[in-house]
Amino acid sequence: MLKKHAITCALSLLILTSAGTAWAHETATTLPDDHAPIGVMGDHAHKKGEWMLSYRYARMEMSGSRTGRTDISPAAVLGSFMVAPLQMDMEMHMFGAMYGISDNLTVMGMLPYIRKEMSSVNVGLVRFKTQSEGIGDAKLSGLFTLYNKNSGTPQQRRKDTLLLKLGASLPTGSTDKRDTTPMGNMKLAYPMQLGSGTVDPMLGITFTQRLQNWSWGAQGNTVFRFGSNSDGYRLGNEYGATGWVARNLNESASLSFRLEGKRWGDIHGRDPALNPAMMPASRPDLRAGTRVDAAVGVNFYQQGGALDGHRLALELAIPVYQDLDGPQLKSDYRLIAGWQKAF
Q: What is the pLDDT along the chain (343 residues), one digit of tens a residue?
A: 444 544 444 444 444 444 343 343 444 578 899 999 999 999 999 999 999 999 999 999 999 999 999 999 999 999 999 999 999 999 999 999 999 999 999 999 999 999 999 999 999 999 999 999 999 999 999 999 999 998 866 667 889 999 999 999 999 999 999 999 999 999 999 999 999 999 999 999 999 999 988 999 999 999 999 999 999 999 999 999 999 999 999 999 999 999 999 999 999 999 999 999 999 999 999 999 999 999 999 999 998 888 889 999 999 999 999 999 999 999 999 999 999 999 9
As separate numbers, helices (DSSP H) first and strands (DSSP E) second, the chain gives 2, 17
Would 144 be classed as within a structural domain? Answer: yes
Q: How many domains does the chain have?
A: 1
Would 36 be classed as within a structural domain? Answer: no
Which three-class secondary structure state does DSSP give residue 226? coil
The answer to whether 343 touches 309, Cβ cutoff 8 Å, is yes
**pTM for this prediction:** 0.90
Would 32 be classed as within a structural domain? Answer: no
Range of the domain at 222: 2-21+42-342
* CA 337 – CA 315 distance, rounded (Å): 6
Cα–Cα nearest to 143, from 157, 117, 161: 161
Would 27 be classed as within a structural domain? Answer: no
Give residue 135's pLDDT: 98
Cα–Cα nearest to 62, from 306, 342, 244, 326: 326
Would 225 be classed as within a structural domain? Answer: yes
Would 30 be classed as within a structural domain? Answer: no
Please report, for the domain that includes residue 83, its CATH number: 2.40.160.40
* CA 195 – CA 236 distance, rounded (Å): 13
Would 202 be classed as within a structural domain? Answer: yes
Would 129 be classed as within a structural domain? Answer: yes
Which three-class secondary structure state does DSSP give residue 36? coil
